[in-house]
Structure 1
């Protein structure tokens, strides 16, 4: 059975630099009827456990360590036995939310996370956060971009640990080089495609200056 993609939307709060905002997050599940990977365990471990069902959860992959993408990760790991994967450059952010619990394993650029025949290649895409990653599977013609690329442009870079020129460079060199039909599944909001976003690069740069 081929791998499929499922979306769960959870709600909670994002907090950084003294501010707090209500947010809805996309939690992505990639797998089949037997095993699954969770991308960004946001807000609600109970809802994620219910979505996983009786399947084996093989990994909890964090696209970055802002609290709204990782707040449910330890509880989900404790309940399922799955390992939490995070790029080491985001450990300072992780520690703001989970000072007494480390991730279980480090994501490395070029690494492949496997689940039910899906091969998710890790692309290190700093800018929104130092350890931000995207996950690309050519077989699914899909890239999971976390908060690096959205419908309409790059993720926010106005807060601590973020940098606009870096995120633009990551998008230009790591994402816009993917086939234009590649689906972009984001950390919040609606999906898009690489082909829909690529023509607007120079507009983003001008807007972000």
Structure 2
């Protein structure tokens, strides 16, 4: 089987700044029938293991360290022996959820991770969180955007560790430079494309999205 993209939706809660909200998260699995990576191990390690279907898990890649994107990461790592990868700027957020267990390796801007013959390029896109990253897979015409870019606009920047101007700079400088046909696989909700979102940059700025 050629490499492809799988989507699993898991449900749980997001907590920050004293509030808690119910959320549905997209867990993305990229790989072939032998090996895969998981992008954002959210809420349910058992469901993720089942979705892997016996494939070797090469890495658990965290787009950022809000609890709803990482709460199942240690359990999944323990079950599979795979490393957890996180940008170091998000360690303060990580420690709010997992104070006793650190990630296994750091993600850096421009780093290339390869699974099933597919290259995933790490794009550091701070704003929603200091260590937020996206993953660009040109061979799949795919961007995994975490909570940096959604269908309809940028991720939220109204809570601790976030900044609106920074997320706009990240999107404008790193994401809108990608081909318009690139499919954006988001951390929550439905997919979009770079081409669909690019025309709205000025609207986002004017609205202080």
TM-score bucket of the superposed structures, by smaller chain: over 0.9
Distance in 2 (alpha carbons) for counterparts of 1:127 and 1:3? 31
Instruction: Give the aligned partner of residue 54 of structure 1.
Output: 54
Distance in 2 (alpha carbons) for counterparts of 1:3 and 1:174? 25
Equivalent position SS for 1:58: strand
Distance in 2 (alpha carbons) for counterparts of 1:197 and 1:188? 16
User: 1:92: how far off?
Assistant: 0.0
Instruction: Give the aligned partner of residue 34 of structure 2.
Output: 34
Instruction: Give the aligned partner of residue 149 of structure 2.
Output: 149
Distance in 1 (alpha carbons) for counterparts of 2:36 and 2:96? 28
Equivalent position SS for 1:12: strand
Distance in 2 (alpha carbons) for counterparts of 1:2 and 1:169? 35
Distance in 2 (alpha carbons) for counterparts of 1:52 and 1:170? 31
Q: How many pairs were matched up?
A: 209
Instruction: Give the aligned partner of residue 11 of structure 1.
Output: 11
User: 1:53: how far off?
Assistant: 1.5
Distance in 2 (alpha carbons) for counterparts of 1:151 and 1:95? 30
User: 1:2: how far off?
Assistant: 2.1
Q: Which runs of 5+ in 1 are unaligned?
A: none
1:81-100 alignment to 2 at 5 Å?
81-100=81-100
RMSD: 0.7
Equivalent position SS for 2:101: coil
1:74-107 deviations in whole A, cap 9, x for unaligned?
0000000000000000000000000000000000
Distance in 1 (alpha carbons) for counterparts of 2:74 and 2:53? 18
Instruction: Give the aligned partner of residue 159 of structure 1.
Output: 159
Instruction: Give the aligned partner of residue 201 of structure 1.
Output: 201
Instruction: Give the aligned partner of residue 23 of structure 1.
Output: 23
Structure 1: 4+ residue segments shifted above 3 A: none
Equivalent position SS for 1:139: helix
1:23-74 deviations in whole A, cap 9, x for unaligned?
0000000000000000000000000000011100000000000000000000
Distance in 2 (alpha carbons) for counterparts of 1:206 and 1:55? 46
Distance in 2 (alpha carbons) for counterparts of 1:97 and 1:41? 13
TM-score, normalised with respect to structure 2: 0.99
Instruction: Give the aligned partner of residue 131 of structure 1.
Output: 131
1:108-159 deviations in whole A, cap 9, x for unaligned?
1000111101100000000000000000011111000000000000000000
Distance in 2 (alpha carbons) for counterparts of 1:44 and 1:130? 25
